[in-house]
Amino acid sequence: MTERRTIVFFPEGAYGPTNNCVGIGQVLQRRGHRIVFIVEESFAGRLEAQGFEERLMRLGPPPATEEVPGQFWIDFIRDTAPIFRKPTIEQLGEFMAPTWQALIDGSKYVDDRLREIIDELEPDLLVEDNVVCFPALPASGRPWVRIVSCNPAELKDAAVPPLSSGYPVADRSAWPAFLDEVERTHRPMWEDFDAFVRERGAPGLAWREHGPEFIHESPWLNLYSYPAEADYAREHPLGPTWHRLDSTVRATDETWELPEHLRGDEGSLIYLSLGSLGSADVALMQRLVDVMGTMRHRVIVSKGPLEDQIRLHDNMTGAGFLPQPAVLPQVDLVITHGGNNTVTEAFHHGKPMIVLPLFWDQVDNAQRVDETGFGVRLSTYGFRDEELIGAVERLLGDTSLRARMTAMSARIRGTSGTARAAELIERVALTGQSVGAA
């Protein structure tokens, strides 16, 4: 019997990274380990309901009214949505830098609380899925693992387009200007955060040729999730502690059945989701719903936290939140914002995608899906109705793409990414040693 270890997961306060960690945590829990999640107060009870222990924290002062899970980011996205209409290079100063600053502010605010939790639990291993450093973890002296739930452009390389640019691999002409703007808009903020990280006992951060690092590479183990068929070719291979997982789709006992009025053979079945954050843009959601309401196909709509403001058509069903792992295997096409969790789950199940990105690595996922031929990237606010309709019909009618994605799905599902991740994490927890490439 495996010796029991205490393993603490600390995911970013959004459903994608949290679900990613849940899938891995479930495997480790079945192997007999004690699994604890550090979560924002707005998520309280949700991980306990799945059989895990919780420790609660905040990334900022408590609000005057009760929050829904991830409320801070829902409000933030809603208020900054007009910026998403601009080119990504213009978003650097108006959206990306303020977002990084909000993340940094959260890291600073919660640092003392994280140290309290770590001292209380005395974990054998800390596993984090974040994009900024929380210095309490590397400063603890305990082994820790980094999970990357973003597009692999976050792992910078000369052959990979700059993170959040959405630029193509084949054309590097715009990359230097983008990186110059990163320097202009991000350098003072990064320097301040680097000083804080060092002051709190963690190693300093790096600013390399291809942009700043806001989080360290773990000396023990680093994981990212993206299928080999869609991953980037690199000029310099990642270090030996980096391991790519084809997917980390979590196991689920949840079921989902199509309502009676949508059963039958008429039309294909399409899943529409802009994620828990993107769906906060109700006007965009309603426009997509209205266009899809003109088609003969049946549509499942993940309406998000503002579900009562979105009106569905007769060819649709939906709810605020749906059990996505149970829904995706049933559909023929996915219309998505390009969040890494949804994109990798669609790859896992072999579903072509139409991607309408909003921010961050969603633009990188959209470009990668398009340039690898696994779907179509559309302008999120500039698409014409006929463009969306044409893309739907073209992808649904592409039998060669369907065969290609079916074969890819079979290979990905055979790799059992959550089990592989759990095995690697367990090795660090048991031995305290780094895990190099196999």
- CA terminus-to-terminus distance, the chain: 24
Q: Please, are residues 121 and 8 in contact by the beta-carbon 8 Å criterion?
A: yes
Q: Is 375 helix (H, G, I), strand (E, B) or coil?
A: strand
What is the CB neighbour count within 10 angstroms for residue 272? 23
Cα separation, 84 vs 358, in Å, equals 6
Residue 436 lies in a domain: no
Query: Does 332 lie in the same domain as 211?
Result: no
Query: Does 191 lie in the same domain as 104?
Result: yes
Residue 277 lies in a domain: yes
Report percent pLDDT > 70 for the chain. 95
Q: Is 105 helix (H, G, I), strand (E, B) or coil?
A: helix
Residue 11 lies in a domain: yes
pLDDT-derived band at 69 (thresholds 50, 70, 90) equals low
Helices (H), 37-96: 71-80, 88-91
| pLDDT at residue 401, as a whole number | 96
**What's the pTM value of the predicted model, to 2 decimals?**
0.92
Query: Does 321 lie in the same domain as 425?
Result: no
Cα separation, 192 vs 207, in Å, equals 13
Average pLDDT over residues 39-54: 90
Whether residue 345 has pLDDT greater than 80? yes
Whether residue 79 has pLDDT greater than 90? no
Residue 211 gets the label, from left (phi > 0), alpha (psi -120 to 50) or beta, of left
> From the centroid of its chain, how far is CA 384?
27
Query: Does 326 lie in the same domain as 278?
Result: yes
Query: Does 134 lie in the same domain as 14?
Result: yes
Query: Does 297 lie in the same domain as 245?
Result: no
| pLDDT at residue 306, as a whole number | 79
Residue 79 lies in a domain: yes
Whether residue 73 has pLDDT greater than 90? no
pLDDT-derived band at 77 (thresholds 50, 70, 90) equals low
Query: Does 246 lie in the same domain as 209?
Result: yes
Query: Which two tokens mark 214?
Result: 């806001």
Query: Does 266 lie in the same domain as 206?
Result: no
Residue 255 lies in a domain: no
What is the CB neighbour count within 10 angstroms for residue 164? 27
| pLDDT at residue 281, as a whole number | 84
Query: Which two tokens mark 3?
Result: 């010796």
Cα separation, 417 vs 248, in Å, equals 5
What is the CB neighbour count within 10 angstroms for residue 150? 26
Query: Does 164 lie in the same domain as 304?
Result: no
Average pLDDT over residues 181-194: 98
Residue 291 lies in a domain: yes
What's at 305, amino acid-wise? Answer: P
pLDDT-derived band at 321 (thresholds 50, 70, 90) equals confident
Task: Output the CA–CA distances (angstroms, integers) from residue 40 to 43, 184, 402, in the order listed.
Answer: 6, 32, 40
Residue 331 lies in a domain: yes
336: closest CA among 372, 297, 394, 288? 288
What is the CB neighbour count within 10 angstroms for residue 102? 16
DSSP tag of 161: P
* Residue linked to tokens 């996915």: 334
More confident site: 281 or 70: 281
Q: Please, are residues 257 and 186 in contact by the beta-carbon 8 Å criterion?
A: no
Whether residue 99 has pLDDT greater than 80? yes
Query: Does 128 lie in the same domain as 158?
Result: yes
Residue 437 lies in a domain: no
Whether residue 359 has pLDDT greater than 60? yes
Average pLDDT over residues 34-56: 92
Provide the number of structural domains found in the chain. 2
CATH number, domain of 209, equals 3.40.50.2000
Lowest-confidence range among 190-199, 204-213, 273-282? 273-282
Q: pLDDT tens digits, residue range 1-32?
A: 578 999 999 998 777 788 889 989 999 999 99
More confident site: 282 or 366: 366
Query: Does 276 lie in the same domain as 133?
Result: no
Query: Does 267 lie in the same domain as 232?
Result: no
- As beta bridge partners, residue 10 has 128
Residue 114 is part of which domain span? 6-250+416-431
Calculate the average pLDDT of the chain.
91
